[in-house]
Structure 1
Amino acid sequence: MFICPVCKQPLFQTEKTCRCPRGHSYDLASEGYVYLLPPNKKHSKDPGDNKQMVAARRSFLETGAYQPFSDTLNRLALHLMQDVPEPVVLDAGCGEGYYTGRLADAFQQKADVYGFDISKCAVRAAAKRYKSLHFAVGSSFGIPFANAGADLLVNVFAPIVPEEMKRVVRPGGVLILAVPGERHLYGLKEILYDAPYENECKDTQYPGFTFLERTVVQGRYTTTDNQQMLNLFAMTPYYWKTGVEGGARLRQAEKLDTEICFHFLTYRRDADQTEG
């Protein structure tokens, strides 16, 4: 289901490469993923999470702190795909594969599961752990996936590009977006910032999709493990925009007590309108 990022043609896999009919060729990494990120889609030499950030994300997620969110995502996916015998599932911005792998397990090998991320380090980690799944390095701004190829598109805190989402989800297919609740990680912000702020929360319509429902999952996360505080911090956008003083306060913190909250927004892809 992955396509050539240059000419948008289907890719055919050989033992060590993926090639399109026009001759563009992409090497398969030893871990099993394919690199489909063109130079003009890169904003740096190695975009996305680096090796240390990927390790921090995996370490935090393996504590189980976010498992209730993953469980809810799985439940929604199974319900919405109950009438699709062997759904094609695409995880946009899959990171190191935590949600992707647990989704595949929930479907009990009755789904064809793909994931992509702009971070080569993250995709390598995902492909090494979840060998039966399909992974690629790619951008949400030019998803290397077939038109109308996905029955279900999942996006957990990844960039949202409406026209690309519409292109890859088949008519009648489903989109699940995970967005932060108003006070998600507010306790972390209280440490990082002098003036912590709540997240904006609104129902958003996307062209070509009909909004179905909002599912809210919330709880608390408390730890005295400073390394896990730093691991959580490295997973968030705050990592890139927090000043030196805020980072220093977190490194010195003895306890983190914060609300955690995901909102899952589900959408049905509309039927394409044709003239005639």
Structure 2
Amino acid sequence: MYFTCPICNKNLYYTNSNCSVACENGHCFDFAKEGYLYLLPPNKKHSKDPGDDKEMVAARRRFLAGGHYQLFSDALNTLAAKLLNIQSPILVDAGCGEGYYTERLAQSLQSAGKAMSFFGCDISKSAVRMAAKAAPDVSFAVASSFSLPLPDACADLLVDVFAPVVPEEFCRIVKPGGYFILAVPSAKHLFGLKEILYDAPYENEEKDTDYTGFQFTERVPVRGALHLTGRDVQDLFSMTPYFWKTPKEGSKKLEAVSELTTEIGFDFLVYKRETT
């Protein structure tokens, strides 16, 4: 067992039944029927059921399964394969959500003959449950990115796709010489959506951010366009931060829309863990 105890940080071991894991201090955690572990202690929860709820997770799964963001997934897969020039890499997806990028990255690396070990964590139980069903070859846990239940210097690559960035924790997890890929929105990402939601739509801020312990190596831009109809429009809205931030007037405007055309864009920022 590669996960560590979220209470005392000791190694976890399979119990005799293989239906649960425990540490030397007696903290025990059962596997869910989908195969994931719940490693989020009560004192690290900010609400009763933190993270995306079932409806938001389902909307994201429908939207992503439609292939609307496949160009970003393909670019991530290509970039990861380029960085991982070892045979048996260890990967971590911090804030994996419902597992779309995790699943496709695992499949891509397996097709390339990589004997990888892949771990996904998200604070949403609903998201992790769906991810575990979709990607059975990946080890998933409900856990916070602010306290990942993984040992020090364990990952050759850590991936963060629109999830909280926790520099100190990511620096702890990634091996010296390993990599951290961060996906951020381009300036015009979803600008067409914001033109409907807001009277004064704004572009996203683009900046290079330094993180202690990491050296920035490159920015990989990926651009495209979307034309959506019907339910896809609302599903896209439901999986964005604008779902929480938009006033009711903007949401009502979108409800009246049956089609949406917008620019989309990710930038993948690549950081290398310093060796000293």
- Give the drift of 1:132: 1.7
Q: What CA distance in whole angstroms lies between the structure 2 residues aligned with 1:42 and 1:196? A: 34
- Structure 2 contact 233–258 (Cα < 8 Å) conserved: no
- Give the drift of 1:254: 2.2
CA RMSD, Structure 1 to Structure 2 (Å) = 0.9
Where do 5+ consecutive residues of structure 2 fail to align?
Answer: none
- Give the drift of 1:13: 2.1
Q: Deviations over 1:54-100 (max 9, x none)?
A: 11000000111100100000001000002x11000100100111000
- Give the drift of 1:27: 1.1
* Amino acid of the structure 1 residue aligned with 2:241: P
Residue 65 of structure 2 corresponds to which residue in structure 1? 62
Q: What CA distance in whole angstroms lies between the structure 1 residues aligned with 2:226 and 2:256? A: 18
Which secondary structure state, in structure 2, belongs to the residue aligned with residue 216 of structure 1?
A: strand
Identity over aligned pairs, percent? 57
Q: Deviations over 1:208-255 (max 9, x none)?
A: 001110000001011122x11111111111111111111111111021
Residue 188 of structure 1 corresponds to which residue in structure 2? 193
Residue 244 of structure 2 corresponds to which residue in structure 1? 240
Residue 115 of structure 2 corresponds to which residue in structure 1? 110
Q: What CA distance in whole angstroms lies between the structure 1 residues aligned with 2:229 and 2:57? A: 22
Residue 96 of structure 1 corresponds to which residue in structure 2? 98
Residue 210 of structure 1 corresponds to which residue in structure 2? 215
2:261 to 229, 249, 257: 257
Residue 88 of structure 2 corresponds to which residue in structure 1? 86
Q: What CA distance in whole angstroms lies between the structure 1 residues aligned with 2:24 and 2:71? A: 44
Residue 226 of structure 2 corresponds to which residue in structure 1? 221
After the TM superposition, which of the residue ranges 168-177 and 14-23 deviates more from structure 2? 14-23
Which secondary structure state, in structure 2, belongs to the residue aligned with residue 231 of structure 1?
A: helix
- Give me the TM-score of the superposition, normalised by structure 1: 0.96
Q: What CA distance in whole angstroms lies between the structure 2 residues aligned with 1:19 and 1:87? A: 25
Residue 149 of structure 1 corresponds to which residue in structure 2? 154
Number of equivalent positions: 270
- Give me the TM-score of the superposition, normalised by structure 2: 0.96
Residue 8 of structure 2 corresponds to which residue in structure 1? 7
Where do 5+ consecutive residues of structure 1 fail to align?
Answer: none
Residue 127 of structure 1 corresponds to which residue in structure 2? 132
